[in-house]
Amino acid sequence: MRDPERGQKILDVAVTLFAKKGFNAVSLAEIGGAAGIVGSGVYRHFSGKPAILTALFETAIDRLVADLPESEPEEPAECEAAIDRLIDGQVSFAVDTREIAQIYYVENKNVPADDRVRLREKQRAYISGWTRILQGLRPELDEAHALTLVHAAIGGVQSARLHRSGPAKEELRATLKNAAWGVLRG
């Protein structure tokens, strides 16, 4: 990307426009105009709308993956701390970048197939990391049960994307975090 600041501005306005109108209803000219450049100027940063969508999703998953510990925690207290960090990352994603989560669930089909496969591989590695850490905390769980609990906890947190009413952000964060821990602890 030639100008990372301008590229980020394009991504920021694209999130707002995609969330408001839907991917197919937004033009590159509209994205460029909202970013303060001509529509064709977007091509200096992205090959097209699908590349913008891919970049949005890749940035989000990379941010979540960054919460995984560099090495596998071995002690239960380390596992608990690692899961707490992972839950915090999910809660932050669901509460602070709600529009990206909403767009992902609706517009994922508009990501080019090769990119979609690559992003799914990152997601699987992320979920696998959660699962191994949960098994470190709860060794009585086999992989299938741990995986089910991880998906349930993340799904519960991500459900916040579906509504805007409810508690204020900090209370919502605490509620989602407690719910995720409740699921994982069984």
Taking residues 118-126, what's their average pLDDT? 96
For the chain, give percent helix, strand, coil, nearest 5.
80, 0, 20
For residue 41, pLDDT beyond 90: no
Determine the pLDDT at residue 1. Answer: 52
CB–CB of 86/67 below 8 Å?
yes
Higher pLDDT, 26 or 41: 26
Determine the pLDDT at residue 128. Answer: 97
Taking residues 17-45, what's their average pLDDT? 93
| pTM of the entire predicted model | 0.89
Q: How far is CA 100 from the centre of its chain?
A: 7
Q: Residues 134, 160, 120, 87: what is their CA dihedral angle, to the nearest 10 degrees?
A: -30
Confidence bin at 146 (pLDDT 50/70/90): very high
